[in-house]
Amino acid sequence: MQIQSRQFARDNKLFACIQCGKCTGGCPVSFKTALNIRDLIYQILATGRQGFEVSGIEVLWDCTTCNTCTARCPKEVSPMDVVIGLRGAVVESGRIPETVKVALESTFRQGNPLTFPREDRAAWAKDLELKAYPDGAEWLYFVGCSPAYDPRVQKVARALARTFEAAELDFGTLGVEETCCGSETRRLGEAGLFEMLVEDNTELLQGYGVDNIVTTSPHCYNTFVNDYPDQGMEVQHYTQVIAKLIAEGRLTFSGELDKAVTYHDACYLGKHNGIFDPPREILQAIPGLKYVEMDRSRERSLCCEGGGGRMWLEGTNIEERLAYQRVDEAIETGAEILATACPFCLLTLEDAVKTRGKEDQLQVMDIMELVVQAL
Amino acid sequence: MNDTGQSTVAPAALVIGGGIAGIQASLDIADAGFRVYLVEREPSIGGRMAQLDKTFPTLDCSSCILTPRTVDVDRHPGIELMTYSEVMGVEAEGDGFKVAVKKKPRYVDVTKCTGCGLCAEACRMHGRVDSEFDEGIAKRSPIYVPFPQAVPLKYTIDPNTCLYLTRGRCGKEFLCQNACPADAIDFEQTEEIVELEVGAVVVATGFDPFDPTKKPEFGYAQYDNVITALEFERLASASGPTAGKIVLGEREINDVVFIQCVGSRDKQVGNPYCSRVCCMYTAKQAHLVHEKLPDAFVTVLYMDIRAFGKGFEEFYDRVREEGAFYRRGNPSEIIRQGDQLIVRAEDTLLGQPVEIPADLVVLAVGMEPRRDCQSMAEMLDIPEDGFFREAHPKMEPVGTGTEGIYLAGTCQGPMDIPDTVAHAKAAAAAAMIRLARARAKTK
């Protein structure tokens, strides 16, 4: 499977590249696998009038789409989108990893990449008696696939719903009508399916006249804000909403949490969208909590390796998971809890703690789980 | 012209800014017999050049070649030096300009101050304020001269840090006043607006160095041993805070990494242009490291090397022959491992990501327009493109499109010292042509 090099280079503004190497030099994956995006860009440019062969480039699937390369490129090239574009060509050829195929098919049929039935999407909230958004609510709580189905992340969704109720935020959900936002579909290169999801979701949301959306996942947040056509809807990640509720005095704590906590910046909040402060504001507002910062934080944060479809891909070097490094960095700060605000980070980091046998030193929790403990 | 056909242009020029550009333009215009008002907002003239250690590619001591000029300015009968003053308004009037200058209160009577410095030593806040001249590496008193060769060598009380001026009281008595043998301290001073009439204006307001906190990936705000090139100049300077020793606390410095193009050629920070000086000043600094720390391992991380001036390529050759390792790759981030800094980059010639240990990282920060460039442009009614825009990029390099107002030096765009001096001389020539024509008409 070949791409037309010149056209691809023009579409992705690759002629602007000066081969400075900043993309590869900051890529967290380049240090552990053979993925070298600067080199790939050069190869595409160098094939000139010929085509560029994409099949067999296994390292394409290593990229976590953490956005470090794109955020730092001095010439405003987006190396990350080059990876997504090349994946697209591979997807078109059909020669994709089996796990990806399963995730994409499940997204198409069941509206989630996790192979769960569509009709079970609201099961996480069975006993909560949440308002249905169509009955009228100020905010649509867009739950997302992992929080709806994954037993570990369901706890986050439940904590968030409880907190919203405590703050008397008027919110509702779409229940089983909610469908995958398509974030990971797009990043796996399945542009056609993503387009379909955008159309379905746009129709659904517009149909209910949705004005305000709050998401559990930074990935849903990002895709609504940056990948969907602008529909005049206000989309916020939960950390923004909760931080504001605290600042306005609508959410108060009566409990305490006597723990040292550090925060892991999710790429799709931080590096993609510059949301660094709200998560920290929430943690620092919890009484008794001792907040510590890791050396690599904010713009220099290390990706956990769970984005860009990597929840369904092992990559070419599983021995050196970035999440392992991240867990070590968290332990180095003396923190007892590594907090995050992203379902993928939560799962990936918790898995790393278990694999490394560090459960007695570090606990991985979502910010919302800490918040409900202190309500 | 007035109705008798005579020119209304005063045979005088206003020069805004007392760096090397303003100094050179002032000297040239005054040497031609016209009056010059040189207005500098800081307490001393000298500008950025006074901060530098050596200059490329000749390794002349910067302050040694600058000081004779600053002294000439001070002594020149045709130059009225107005330091610690700011231009508040420039209005076209007839063929000339009416200028309002604010003389800020120094709280020191300059006719009495002898520059002895006893006040600064006596001050309760002695050694507790960051010295701007030393880029914060050394401390000063709220009553201070920016550097020992300051012109004029007159003390100034900084209203932002003086206890009395910020809080309304300073112990039972003023220690500076008690210490001053000349009775020069005067807290009653107030600002004064002076009106001038001039026939030409030379704008020589200089540049601001790029603020490296805008590239958070380099950890400038986090790590003490990540410094800017200007901080390095102060460390390297024999008259600087470390007497020319490259030291940072207790740390032994073995590995030095220079990073080029910080805030230049970078659309992410809105500076798409090349700052023109960083390649060569970095080469010079690499040379200085080898001179001062012969065993140090020096790595220069670069994208392209631009050594385009006279003697530049030869100097670049020399620095490499001395052992500076030029490694191609624009580094992406600096992190800490234990107590060691690690610079992460791709060596693009190897095609491999690399982690380079460093005891000291020097960021080659580029040049930016002054923060107040836009308001200045509005006040002067001249165009700007970030920097002030010349009237024609080729044929009118010092004109502004407004008759009588000319640009000198880095306020127009990044330049090195020789280009700045040449540009300033051109601006002076343009101003002198205008003033000479007016004078011819009045005769």
User: Can you give the pLDDT at residue B439?
Assistant: 86
A31 and B344 in contact by Cβ < 8 A? yes
DSSP B108: B
Rounded Cα distance between B272 and A305, Å, is: 32
**pLDDT by residue (tens digit) across B227-286?**
999 999 999 999 999 999 999 888 899 999 999 999 999 999 999 999 999 999 999 999
**pLDDT by residue (tens digit) across B356-377?**
999 999 999 999 999 999 999 9
Rounded Cα distance between B107 and B5, Å, is: 46
Q: Which contiguous run of DSSP H or E holds residue B362?
A: strand B360-365
User: Can you give the pLDDT at residue B4?
Assistant: 55
Tell the residue number behind the tokens 């529909």, with chain if given: A231
Chain A segment 279-338 residues within 8 A of B by beta carbon are 295-296, 298-300
Rounded Cα distance between A115 and A105, Å, is: 8
**pLDDT by residue (tens digit) across B295-320?**
999 999 999 999 999 999 999 999 99
A36 and B333 in contact by Cβ < 8 A? no
pLDDT in tens, chain A (375 residues): 899 999 999 999 999 999 999 999 999 999 999 999 999 999 999 998 999 999 999 999 999 999 999 999 999 999 999 999 999 999 999 999 999 999 999 999 999 999 999 999 999 999 999 999 999 999 999 999 999 999 999 999 999 999 999 999 999 999 999 999 999 999 999 999 999 999 999 999 999 999 999 999 999 999 999 999 998 899 999 999 999 999 999 999 999 999 999 999 999 999 999 999 999 999 999 999 999 999 999 999 999 999 999 999 988 988 888 999 999 999 999 999 999 999 999 999 999 999 999 999 999 999 999 999 999
The Cα angle at residue B87 between residues B84 and B91, in degrees rounded to 5: 160
Whether the CB of B341 is below 8 Å from some CB of chain A: the reply is no
Contacts of A351 (CB under 8 A, 6+ apart): A323
Rounded Cα distance between B207 and B202, Å, is: 15
Rounded Cα distance between B133 and B78, Å, is: 28
List the single residue in A22, A39, A295 with the smallest CB-CB distance to B335.
A295
Strand order in the sheet with A212-215: A171-172, A139-142, A212-215, A234-237
| Average pLDDT, 10 consecutive residues per value, chain B (443 residues) | 63 98 98 98 98 97 96 98 98 94 98 97 96 96 97 97 94 94 97 97 98 97 96 96 92 96 97 98 98 96 96 98 97 94 98 97 98 96 96 96 96 98 98 93 70
Q: Which residues of A touch B333 (CB under 8 A)?
A: 25-26, 300
User: Can you give the pLDDT at residue A37?
Assistant: 98
Query: Which residue pairs from A243-247 have beta carbons closer than 8 angstroms and sit at least 24 positions apart in sequence?
Result: A243/A277, A243/A278, A243/A279, A243/A281, A243/A282, A244/A278, A245/A167, A245/A169, A246/A281, A246/A282, A246/A285, A247/A281
Of B261, B311, B310, B251, nearest to B282 by C-alpha is B261
| Backbone angles phi and psi of B55, in degrees to 5 | -115, 145
Of A214, A246, A226, nearest to A81 by C-alpha is A226
DSSP B251: B
Chain B interface mutation, best of A24, A69, A322, highest count of B Cβ atoms under 10 Å: A24
DSSP per-residue letters across B151-162: BS---EE-TTT-
Residues linked to residue B200 through DSSP beta bridges, in sequence order: B13
Q: Which contiguous run of DSSP H or E holds residue A241?
A: helix A238-247
Rounded Cα distance between B178 and A347, Å, is: 69
List the single residue in A25, A39, A68 with the smallest CB-CB distance to B330.
A25
Q: How far is B37 from chain A (nearest CA, A)?
A: 42
Chain A interface mutation, best of B220, B225, B261, B348, highest count of A Cβ atoms under 10 Å: B348
User: Can you give the pLDDT at residue A1?
Assistant: 86
Whether the CB of A56 is below 8 Å from some CB of chain B: the reply is no
Rounded Cα distance between B419 and A310, Å, is: 53
Q: How far is B211 from chain A (nearest CA, A)?
A: 16
Q: For the whole model, what pTM was predicted? A: 0.95
Whether the CB of B219 is below 8 Å from some CB of chain A: the reply is yes
User: Can you give the pLDDT at residue A307?
Assistant: 93
A20 and B329 in contact by Cβ < 8 A? yes
B346 and A36 in contact by Cβ < 8 A? yes
Pairing of strands B387-388, B384-385: antiparallel
Residues linked to residue A51 through DSSP beta bridges, in sequence order: A4
Q: Which residues of B touch A296 (CB under 8 A)?
A: 335
- In B293-416, alpha helices (H): 312-321, 373-380
Two structure tokens written together for A199: 């159309």
User: Can you give the pLDDT at residue B443?
Assistant: 61
Crossing angle of helices A79-93 and A37-46, rounded to 10°: 70
Pairing of strands B96-103, B85-93: antiparallel
